[in-house]
Structure 1
Amino acid sequence: MHILVATAVPVERDAVARAFPGTGPEAAVEVPRPGTVLHRLPDGWDLLAAGVGPALAAASTAAALTAAALDSAPYGLVVSAGIGGGFAPDAPVGSLVVADEITAADLGAETADGFLPVTDLGFGTVTHRPPAGLVRAVAAATGARTGTVLTGSTVTGTAERAALLRARHPRALAEAMEGFGVAEAAAAHGVPVLELRAVSNPVGPRDRAAWRIGDALTALTDAFGKLAPVLRSWNPHER
């Protein structure tokens, strides 16, 4: 199955590439796409540093999906992957989270009565749900926790904001900035999506000294080493 893995930045993309023995970042072939460049591994996986934030991630992923379709080599699965913040105590630093719901945390309207998601305003969607069987298989293979991964255009930086998000989304385990954008692009092409996050820091006050980015990138590499056989054997008709 032709698989596209979309990360935010090149260091995350390269962490995924290192999961494939003998085909790390140095073995990737650059494939130009409108506005972006794919890194194609010898075994057919395409890795994309799609950019930071949901808008750029959606645009870059859509460009890759469209180009693949025009080449008569469509993708069977899109994986949004990278590091992210974890909601304590359920997703501690160093843990993995696989999304059973990919939710836009701040897409909607603030009102006097509180936040209204865009769906309550009669538009669009705020949640994409990856294939349940695939989520279970990934969690079993990698030891990842399963729950909601939130996408925001602004990273949470206070305890108050973290508490507000958790109250609004009780099943939230992690927060990142690209998953919903990647999922929107995948949905527009009718391609299933998965999101996997390695937790580098707690969601809340920004304490850069406590971040464990290197450890999270290592966890991401290890996860894809265990994940690859699961994705290769998955039946894409199971939605």
Structure 2
Amino acid sequence: MADVNTTLLLIPTSGERSELLNHLDLSAVSMKGWTCELCGFGLVASAAATMRAIQSQQPARVILAGIAGGLSDAASVGSAHWFDQVICDGIGVGEGEQFASAESLGWQQWPGTDEALVPAVGDRIDLSRPKNLSGEDLPEARSEANTLISVCAASSDGVMASRRGSLASTNDHDGVIAEDMEAFGVAMACRMTSTPCMVVRGISNAAGDRDHSRWQITASLRSVADRLMQLN
């Protein structure tokens, strides 16, 4: 049975974990009853690792933290954001301008259970979001929801990043501000185990910018740490 005070903090890579832990108050994290594990890189590894960790630890909630590429002026490099929903790009038919998502073709990525305890999942999963952060707008107070798009391969240039933003907007998903490679997999595992899932990402770079000399990983993960320490 889940401990109501247990939070499982998942981080994709050892580099992100090392940098993030440098900025967290580890004694405070311990007092909060949090545990920290790697979930791996990419949609497949993160989904499998999250499912294994949930089955082993049975946490009351899961938080995914790490870096992401910004797709919008609302996601400036060095900032960090909680997300209201995550959508998936790359699972369906075709690629580029010819891509059609699974849900647009009438396919569910997860059909749900007969007992309806675990609802069906298409290309979008709603996320839990902190409600009591000082200075943080609540979802209902904003005109748009913060949406994250999870991909199998990060944008290689601005053209690819622009296509992903346009693809998401044509599917009626507001406020797509960043791309990552793990959140949809983590959220899927959480949905299938009825575990609340939160996602906070620091914007290390503009999506499509592959020049690492312009990336701000330290600043973005410091911003993530600030967001995490505001949580109960």
Using the size of structure 1 for normalisation, the TM-score is 0.77
SS at match of 1:184: helix
Q: Does 1:207 align with 2:211?
A: yes
SS at match of 1:58: helix
Match of 1:191 among 191, 195, 202: 195
Match of 2:124 among 124, 127, 130: 127
Q: Does 1:65 align with 2:54?
A: yes
Structure-2 residue corresponding to 1:7: 11
| Structure 1, 141-150 or 175-184: larger mean CA deviation | 141-150
C-alpha deviation, 1:128, in angstroms: 0.7
Matching of residues 1-239 of structure 1 within 5 Å: 1-14=5-18, 15-16=20-21, 18-22=23-27, 41=30, 43-68=32-57, 74-110=58-94, 114-121=98-105, 122-124=107-109, 125-131=122-128, 134-138=129-133, 140-141=135-136, 147-170=146-169, 171-226=175-230, 228-229=231-232
Percent identity of paired positions between Structure 1 and Structure 2? 23
**Is 1:96–1:143's contact at 8 Å kept on the other side of the alignment?**
no
Cα 1:116–1:76 change in 2 (3 A) is same
C-alpha deviation, 1:150, in angstroms: 0.9
Unaligned runs of 5+ residues in structure 1 are 25-40, 69-73, 230-239
Higher relative contact order (CA 8 A, sep 6+): 2
Distance, in Å, in 2 between the alignment partners of 1:21 and 1:142 is: 27
SS at match of 1:199: strand
C-alpha deviation, 1:5, in angstroms: 1.3
What RMSD, in angstroms, separates the aligned Cα atoms of the two structures? 2.6
Using the size of structure 2 for normalisation, the TM-score is 0.79
C-alpha deviation, 1:48, in angstroms: 1.1
Distance, in Å, in 2 between the alignment partners of 1:112 and 1:225 is: 39
Cα 1:10–1:23 change in 2 (3 A) is farther
**Is 1:16–1:224's contact at 8 Å kept on the other side of the alignment?**
no
SS at match of 2:45: helix
Distance, in Å, in 2 between the alignment partners of 1:84 and 1:103 is: 14
C-alpha deviation, 1:19, in angstroms: 2.2
C-alpha deviation, 1:199, in angstroms: 0.5
Distance, in Å, in 2 between the alignment partners of 1:65 and 1:188 is: 10
Distance, in Å, in 2 between the alignment partners of 1:77 and 1:155 is: 27
C-alpha deviation, 1:115, in angstroms: 2.1
What's the CA shift string for 1:143-165, capped at 9, x where partnerless?
99951111111010111111101
What's the CA shift string for 1:194-217, capped at 9, x where partnerless?
111010100123121110111112
**Is 2:86–2:183's contact at 8 Å kept on the other side of the alignment?**
yes
SS at match of 2:94: strand
**Is 2:90–2:152's contact at 8 Å kept on the other side of the alignment?**
yes
What's the CA shift string for 1:119-146, capped at 9, x where partnerless?
2332222111013xx3454584499995
